[in-house]
Structure 1
Amino acid sequence: MENKYRGRYKAYQKAYQAEYYKENYEKINEATRRNIMLKKGCYVYKIINSNGEVLYIGSTCLIGRLGAHLRGNTNLKIDLSECYIEYCSLSDEFTKEERLMCEQYLIELYKPIFNIKKAYSGEINERVIDVFLANEYWEEYARKGEVLND
């Protein structure tokens, strides 16, 4: 029975995302160009609500992935109308495994309610976390209202 509802929800979510994207196509494209879309590198990021609570931690090597959350192109079931995203650039020397270690470290630190899977299931290397913390600098990516209303 659960699969029946899941299938309906996925269809609803897909239709909602398509409609949202169609309605906001020009604003989204303009915002994507203005924002950091072409910036190369690897990142960890936090989705934060208006109360300062971290709702989700993620990592990516595509900065445009952050914008996907704001556009609703994600599996997360979060109302982003009052949220914003902060990201932290990682050193180019970080491997994918080390990036996932940093993500898992932050998940364990903040315990966000929307992170239901482990990003990294191995042992976290303390040296990697020390390097991350020594260079940790969070920047705001965008707030949903600002992106769509500019």
Structure 2
Amino acid sequence: MKRALWMVPVAAVGVAAARKAGAAARGGDDRAGDRWLTVTVNRPTEDVRQDGKLPDALERLSDRIDVRLRPAPGDRGTELAARLKEPTPPAPVSLPARLAGQDPRQEVRLALREAKAVLETGEVMLPDTPPTIRPTPGGRLVGLFGRRSGGEGVL
């Protein structure tokens, strides 16, 4: 049983290394930070970029990001995409920064989520805090994972 448990992380590292080697062999780049981060907004393109201006959350970052707007597939709103102008380090290097909440892509993700919320609902909805009167074991666990998500809302 103990032998099987240590094999899981080793297998995961092996799979990640094989994927990276495969991408390099195909001529791919492992710089995932240069990808476009995209959200679909349930609004026409004219509403997303009113008077040629981006939503406030993205406007604050306009000197550091490129923004792309295009109609979403199936006439379902607008795809709002952003990426940093400067290249970011590859994933293995940026992992500690991401866990510490210092990855610059996190700010872009947050700005996209805020822009989507404001465009669709008119405000950024936040949960009530504290959600319970007393801490529960499950609440502590969710709090731990929430802190580890780097403010991205992804566990």
The two structures share one fold, judged by TM-score above 0.5: no
Structure of higher CA gyration radius:
2
Normalization by structure 1: what TM-score?
A: 0.26
Higher percent of residues as strand = 1
Normalization by structure 2: what TM-score?
A: 0.25
